[in-house]
């Protein structure tokens, strides 16, 4: 009886379908439809179970063929690349100031990025609001 209770209390792997990579997905690659496949078997916590969860997301690390696709290894696709010229937008009340700057990193919509002002060479922190547009200053929305 004790043996049966011990067996029932031991952790058992979950038998479910999980996504695996069908090709090498390099960091910064956006996951496409043919890049992942559903595979039956043991899945670990955090492994994607539906292709709709990962299609269109960007790989943060290399994902090798046949390896599980973990949600923690993916994120939103970057819309601003490092060294890209961007429009910095400063808003305060009814005042809006536009200036040109250079992104010092990669960022997706809603993410924070450091931008160097083209004329003053000062670096400021801002939030990506659109392709090539960064909102800076006190008027930034959370």
How far apart CA 56 and CA 113 sit, in angstroms, is 21
Same domain? For 96 and 111 the reply is: yes
Residue-wise pLDDT for 19-59, tens only, equals 899 999 999 999 999 999 988 875 678 898 889 999 999 99
The CATH number of whichever domain residue 113 belongs to comes to: 2.30.30.760
Residue-wise pLDDT for 60-113, tens only, equals 999 999 999 999 999 999 999 999 999 999 998 889 999 999 999 999 999 999
**Tally of domains in the chain:** 2
Domain that holds residue 65: 13-75
What is the pTM for the complete model shown? 0.68
User: What's the pLDDT band for 11 if we cut at 50, 70, 90?
Assistant: low
The CATH number of whichever domain residue 66 belongs to comes to: 3.90.1210.10
8 A C-beta contact, residue 61 and residue 86: no
Same domain? For 93 and 66 the reply is: no
Which residues is 92 bridged to in the sheet?
95
Q: Which of 115, 132, 120, 135 is nearest to 78 (CA)?
A: 132
Same domain? For 60 and 17 the reply is: yes
How far apart CA 54 and CA 48 sit, in angstroms, is 7
Name the strand (E) or helix (H) holding 9. Answer: helix 2-9
> 3 in a domain, yes or no?
no
> 141 in a domain, yes or no?
no
Same domain? For 23 and 67 the reply is: yes
Structure letter (DSSP) for residue 10:
S
């Amino acid at each position: 009886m004790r043996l049966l209770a011990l067996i029932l209390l031991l952790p058992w792997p979950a038998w479910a379908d999980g996504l695996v990579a069908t090709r090498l997905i390099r960091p910064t690659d956006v996951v496409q439809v043919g890049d992942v496949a559903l595979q039956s078997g043991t899945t670990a916590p955090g492994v994607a179970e539906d292709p709709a969860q990962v299609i269109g997301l960007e790989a943060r690390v290399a994902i090798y063929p046949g390896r599980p696709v973990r949600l923690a290894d993916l994120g939103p696709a970057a819309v601003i690349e490092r060294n890209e010229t961007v429009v910095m937008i400063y808003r305060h009340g009814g005042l809006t100031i536009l200036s040109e700057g250079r992104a010092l990193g990669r960022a997706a919509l809603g993410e924070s990025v450091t931008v160097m002002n083209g004329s003053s060479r000062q670096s400021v922190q801002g939030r990506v609001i659109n392709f090539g547009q960064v909102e800076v200053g006190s008027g930034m929305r959370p």
